[in-house]
């Protein structure tokens, strides 16, 4: 009796997916003081005074501005913590997250 052994000719390619990234977005409002927005950006996102000013002004003029990009967990945690910082002082400042295309 003949026995045949078959072996796969090629090794299966192991693909490692890159984790999807999420944008943290700063949303403008009419009530939060500009200096407070800058302070939160510096505290939560480790921005310089200059960077924070620029992001705040962009959100103020355009309605919203991308602050930074992180993995989902980090983006959601930072957005929630920055939003809470404002809420504690009664400001309606909002940070949201959105997946990158």
Interface residues toward ligand TYC, by CB under 6 A: 26-30, 32-34, 37, 56, 59-60, 93
**Nearest approach, Cβ of 56 to ligand TYC (angstroms)?**
5
Nearer to ligand TYC, 47 or 59 (CB): 59
Closer by beta carbon to ligand TYC, 24 or else 70: 24
Report the nearest approach of ligand TYC to the CB of residue 60 (Å): 4
Number of DSSP helices (H) and strands (E) in the chain, helices first: 3, 3
The set of residues, in sequence order, having a beta carbon less than 8 Å from that of 37 and lying 6+ positions away, is 26, 52, 56, 59, 93
In this complex, which beta carbon is closest to ligand TYC, that of residue 73 or of residue 98? 98
How far is residue 26 from each of residues 4, 29, 38, 67, 69, measured CA to CA in Å? 65, 10, 11, 6, 12
Shortest reach from residue 55's CB to ligand TYC, in Å:
8
């Amino acid at each position: 009796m003949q026995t045949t052994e078959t072996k796969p000719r090629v090794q299966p390619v192991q693909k490692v997916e890159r984790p999807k990234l999420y944008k943290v977005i700063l949303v403008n409002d009419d009530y939060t003081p500009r200096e407070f927005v800058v302070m939160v950006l510096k505290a939560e996102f480790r921005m310089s005074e200059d960077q924070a000013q620029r992001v705040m002004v962009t959100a103020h003029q355009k309605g919203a501005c991308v602050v930074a990009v992180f993995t989902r967990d980090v983006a959601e945690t930072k957005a929630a913590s920055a939003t809470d910082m404002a809420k504690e002082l009664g400001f309606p400042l909002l940070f949201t997250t959105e997946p990158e295309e």
